[in-house]
A and B are shown apart, each in its own frame.
Chain A
Amino acid sequence: MSEFIAALERAFAPGAASSPIGALRRRAFETFAARGVPSLRDEDWKYTDLSRVLAAPCALSPAATASSALPAYVDGAARLVFVNGVYSAALSAAAALPAGVTVHRFDELATRAPDTLAPLLERQATGRAGPFAALSAAFAADGVYVDVAADAAPDSPLHVVFLRTDTAEPAFSAPQLLVSAGHHSRLTLVETHAGGAGSRVSAAVTEIRLADGATVDHYRIVDEPAAASHLGNVYLQPGRDAIATSWSFVVGAGLARVDLHAELAAPGAAVVLNGLFLATGKAHVDHHVRIDHAAPHTTSAQVYKGIANDRGRGVFNGKIVVHPDAQKISATQASNNLLLSDDAEIDTKPELEIYADDVVCQHGATIGRLDDDSLFYLRARGVPRDVAEAMLSYGFADEVVAPVAVPALKAWLEARLTGAAIGREDAA
């Protein structure tokens, strides 16, 4: 057993085995420990080496309430803020929650209604969602369960922010965001992982279940320091005629791995998955998408864009599975990547597994640097090289950023992209 797992086991305090939650946490941890930290020999982890970042022992993040400032785009909005995995009433604006949105914290559910919480974590505990979702379920002390009432359609977005304080020692936390969107409801959800400096590991899980006809727009932003390892897990389950849209923006973190899984098990269900990552410095960003078309008349569309600079490395693995008898499927997928440095690397693997015949499935992948002619055009008009590159990279990323429907977030992303593309640390 690795030191990483051993240290976590020592810190593991799941609560009484007799309670459903205690039992579930034990089971989840056993699932993780039995599986162990994946190695490069695992097909799913072929391009992402965890042996370095998950070698050292990790303590649990200390409880804290104060933290560095909230991201600019969160200001003034309805928000739930967790610092080092613990709910912070001071930073949250829970009173401003939109009508029809009810929020339950794991902390209180575990004591008040453990029988409600346990089934919510069941999928993670079984290991079906991967080793780090199981690890997250074992340690998620305080997560959030958002319940949207049927027909509710709040007009402002709900922010859930997971902040970390500066830490001297490597620290571990397990943020959890579970959403249940009621019949014909609409929700815009912005999930942010950000905060202070220091080495750390997060095993974060987001699960969004949509009842028939519901619509959820989910934005997920990872903006962590270079010493941070982010292991994210997103699960989407739209009901009949429901539409789940999930955006993954990874603009920071030394190592970020985001596993997205959408299960389309009801006719008319649709998912739209978009993503953008920046891998600068020595960053390593890995998106793993799996879409299961298990019912007929389901639709999925994906666009993932990556920019790798310096010694950054970007990984994309997208798998579309069309199950037997799931006819009338439309699935598209694009993985477009920009390499801005000779030391950067992109590995992409867009997969299709199709067991039905009445389908239209397409995928495309491109990898290249900025177009020489376009650069020349701008340079010839007196635009400095770095600005020209920034303009072109921005143009490349804009397909994914332009449709962002939360104006403050869109402005923040645009500023961030322009700065990062030129390599200016002070930008944004």
Chain B
Amino acid sequence: MSGTTQDVRELLGQKYQAGFYTDIEQEQAPPGLNEDTLRFISAKKNEPSWLLEWRLKALERWRAMPEPKWAHVHYPPIDFQAISYYAAPKSAKDKPQSLDEVDPKLLETYAKLGIPLEEQKMLAGVAVDVVFDSVSVHTTFKDKLAAAGVIFCSFAEAVQKHPELVRRYLGSVVPVTDNYYAALNSAVFSDGSFVYIPKGTRCPMELSTYFRINAMNSGQFERTLIIADEGSYVSYLEGCTAPMRDENQLHAAVVELVALERAEIKYSTVQNWYPGDENGVGGIYNFVTKRGDCRGAHSKISWTQVETGSAITWKYPSCVLRGDHSVGEFYSVALTNHHQQADTGTKMVHLGRNTRSTIISKGISAGRGQNAYRGLVRIAKSAENARNYTQCDSLLMGDKCGAHTFPYIEVKNASAKIEHEASTSKISDDQLFYLRQRGIRAEDAVNLIVNGFCKEVFKELPMEFAVEAQKLLGISLEGAVG
């Protein structure tokens, strides 16, 4: 028993495994945020003037907005003038066409992470658009996608090559003024991914982006825009790790999804950014706006997320169910250990008739972690026969952690059927005892129970992600009960 407890302690105090720092020469904007910063970014990216105007307008609106304080998280004030808003690996200037041309140090980084591009290329059907800090370095499988008519490229490239699409959809789901961090992102976004699936096309492979935050003091502000045209389907994977660092880093991304008639978008995230050390020093501030718009009838948007990293997570992937018969889904596992704080959840806004939504949220708190589910289900007067089912469960490990639930439910149509249930408890002693007396070690028993707790969410993840997610949870949680 004592030996087991020892193991458990060691595991609980585990260091962040993906924590290392690659020394690459950066071309960096001086810290500070003003009109000139935007002009610098815009010029660097050779952007058309309408986009610069859009950025400038966003900055103007952002300045007038108060910093939001309502989330159940605590952190020292952020000095937005101390952040550098643009950092690009130098070698990206002349974009490499193959792996040979990629900076070997970059490749080394990925090798350390266990995701060498070479192997990834081989992985069944996965194309990777790697964002290393702010500029897309390498995009694979482009040709195969191009044959299907799928556009999958960096945001900057899309601005150059498909300005009409970008201009039409950018900001149409998350308006510039949506919230403080969305406005900030709209002003300074550096790069990101752009996906367009043409009419009636089933994307031939799962699209994936790995994000890494690497440069000192450079907030990363991705912008992702995915458009699924009528009758199309796409599954998009987003996964992140970040090197160990002592200074808090701000990450304020915006993700916009547009699903037209009968289109389906499946968006999966495994987020494992540096959470800070066991004393709560360092770690990423992850303030993200993600929203999908089910614009057409019979469209579907599904969010799945596994959030194990970041010092602070502030994220509500949402669905606007505008089209009749549209479907929104949200599956989430959020884990907070040590001093991590998470305020995450979703919004389901039902506007169309016969719209349906499902919310499954699993929160796990350990150590001194604070984990909040915050959700909104709104049934508008026009949403005849809307249906929502919400389940949010919290698991507590340790007597210093916290689990909170703030669900808002607003119903303006009598035909709606809304169910919400939530529960909070610790791992039951009976379950642990049952497993222990069958000779299963304490941490394995906890792992089993936690995996069972999260199963409903994991089964929504694509296979490779499900494996990674289980591993992540195992690392972060084994031994939280000793």
Contact = CB atoms under 8 A, between A and B. Distances in A.
Interface of A: 43, 47, 324-325, 327, 337, 339-342, 344-369
Given A361-B424, A362-B424, A363-B421, A351 B404 contact: yes
Interface string B404-439: 111111111111111111111110000000000000
B396 A357 contact: yes
Given A354-B424, A357-B401, A362-B423, A349 B418 contact: no
Contacts of B404: 351-354
Contacts of B419: 364-366
Interface string B380-418: 010000000000001011111111111111111111111
Q: Which 9 A-B pairs have the closest CB atoms?
A: A339-B414, A357-B396, A367-B418, A365-B420, A352-B405, A361-B424, A364-B421, A362-B423, A368-B417
Given A354-B394, A357-B426, A346 B403 contact: no
Contacts of B409: 346-349, 365, 367
Nearest to A308: B414
Name A's interface SS. strand
Contacts of B408: 347, 349
Given A354-B424, A367-B409, 17 more contacts: A344-B414, A347-B409, A347-B410, A348-B420, A351-B404, A352-B404, A354-B396, A354-B404, A355-B402, A357-B396, A357-B397, A361-B424, A362-B422, A362-B423, A362-B424, A364-B422, A367-B416
A353 B402 contact: yes
A342 to B, nearest CB: 5
A351 B376 CA distance: 12
B420 A356 contact: no
Contacts of A363: 405, 420-423
Interface of B: 70, 381, 394, 396-426
A351 B407 contact: yes
Nearest to B375: A349
Nearest to A340: B414
Nearest to A313: B412
A357 B399 contact: yes
A350 B402 CA distance: 17
Contacts of A359: 396, 424-426
Nearest to A372: B415
Nearest to A338: B414
5 contacts: A344-B414, A346-B409, A352-B405, A358-B426, A368-B418
B121 to A, nearest CB: 45
B414 A341 contact: yes
A367 B378 CA distance: 12
Nearest to B396: A357
A418 B418 CA distance: 25
A174 to B, nearest CB: 32
Contacts of A352: 394, 403-405, 422, 424
A363 B404 CA distance: 12
Contacts of B401: 355, 357
A354 B402 contact: yes
| Most chain A beta-carbon neighbours within 10 Å: one of B399, B403, B414, B417 | B414
Given A339-B411, A349-B407, A354-B402, A361 B418 contact: no
